[in-house]
Amino acid sequence: MKQRTINILLVITIICISLSAIFVKLSDAPSTVMVMYRMFLACLLISPMIFKHRKAFLEIKMREWIAIVFAGIFLAGHFGLWFESLNHTTVASSTLILALQPAIALVGGLLFFREKVDIRTLFAMGIAFIGVAIVGGGNLGGGSGVLLGNILSFFAVISVVLYLMIGQRNVKSINHWVYSFLVFFISGVTVAIFNLIGGISFTGYSTNDWFVFIMLAIFPTGAHIIFNMLLNYVNTTTVSMSTLGEPIGASILAIILLNEMLTPVEMVGGILIIVGIFYFLRLQGGSKQVILKESESL
C-alpha cells in the first residue's frame, strides 16, 4: 500500500473516531449497553465480507484464537471505560487523555517489539503533545467528577494500546475482516456478560438511543476496521499517533452539536497537534512502515 493511501486512510479514521464522543454524549443509555450494541451491530454490518472470507476461519491457529480472545476483552475494556468517562467529564478532557495513546504505544513498542525510535519522531510527538497540553489545560479543574473521568479515560488508553499490540502481532496472519469480526464479537459478548451480571437491561431504549448505537457501529467502529487493516503496513505507534487528531475533531463537533466553545488558547494548541501529526506522517513517507520484529506472543 502506498504511503499516500495510508495517510488518507489515517485522516478518515481521525474523522470517524472524532464522532464517537459526540454520539456517546447524545445517548442516555448505560455505557456498557452502548458498547454491547455497537459491537454486535458492527458484526452484522460486516457479515457480508465475513461470508466472502469464511474459509479464513479454518486457517486460524490455536495461539491466534487465544490472542483474539484477549484482544476482544481489551477492546471491551477500552470502550466501556471510555464511554463511562464521558459521563463524568467533558469531551475535551476525555479526548485529551486519549491523546496519550501514542506515548503509551511507543513504550509498548519498545518493550514488546523492540521498535527503533528516530529523534525526529520524538520531536513530532513532542510538538503534538505540547498542543494537547494547551488544548486540555483549562479543562482539568472541573471537580472530583472530572478526576474520575480522567482516570477511567487513562485506563481506556492502556486497554486500547494492548488491543492494538495484539493486532500488530496477529493481524498479518489473519484476514483483517475476519479478525475484526471476531474481536468485535468477543468484545460484545464480554460486555453482554458484564451487563447480565450487573442486571443491566438489554431492552427499553429510545429511538434516539438506537440511532446512536447504529452510528457508533458505522463510523467509529469503521475506523477500527481500517486500523486493523493498516496494521499490515504500519506499527501501533503510527496508528496511535493518528488519534491525536481526535481532540480537534471532537472539539469542533462539540461546538456545532453540544455548544462547547473553544477558547483562543485551545485553538493554538489544536494547530500544534495538527502540525505534529502532519510532520510525523511525513516522516513515515521516507520508507514503507512495516512491523519491525515479531516478538513472542503477549
pLDDT digits (tens, 9 = 90+) for 86-133: 888 777 777 777 777 776 776 666 666 666 667 887 787 788 778 767
CB of 102 closer than 8 Å to CB of 279 = no
The upper half-sphere exposure of residue 24, i.e. CA atoms within 13 Å in the direction of its Cβ, equals 30
Nearest-angstrom CA–CA distance, 27 and 89: 15
Reading the block at residue 73, the C-alpha cell is 476483552
Residue 98 CB neighbours (<10 A): 26
Picking from 39-43, 95-99, 175-179, which range would have the lowest pLDDT averaged per residue? Answer: 95-99
Per-residue confidence band for 244, with pLDDT thresholds at 50, 70 and 90: low
Question: What residue has cell string 491466534?
Answer: 64
**pLDDT computed for residue 288 by the predictor:** 40
Mean pLDDT score, 19-26: 88
User: Environment class of residue 286 by beta-carbon count within 10 Å: exposed (0-12), middle (13-18) or buried (19+)?
Assistant: exposed
Helices (H), 26-89: 31-45, 47-52, 62-85
- The DSSP symbol for 262 reads P
Nearest-angstrom CA–CA distance, 204 and 26: 17
The string of DSSP letters for 200-211 reads --SS---HHHHH
Task: List CB contacts of 187: < 8 A, sequence separation 6 or more.
Answer: 35, 39, 72, 73, 75, 76, 79
Nearest-angstrom CA–CA distance, 168 and 90: 31
Tell me: pLDDT of 155 over 80.
Answer: yes
End-to-end alpha carbon distance in the chain: 27
CA dihedral 27, 29, 30, 33 (to 10 degrees): -110
Per-residue confidence band for 35, with pLDDT thresholds at 50, 70 and 90: very high
CB of 45 closer than 8 Å to CB of 217 = yes
**pLDDT computed for residue 114 by the predictor:** 67
How many residues does this entry show for the chain? 298
Per-residue confidence band for 292, with pLDDT thresholds at 50, 70 and 90: very low
Query: What is the percent of the chain with per-residue pLDDT over 70, rounded to a whole number?
Result: 78
205 vs 234: which has the higher pLDDT? 205
**pLDDT computed for residue 30 by the predictor:** 94
**pLDDT computed for residue 236 by the predictor:** 64
Reading the block at residue 23, the C-alpha cell is 454520539
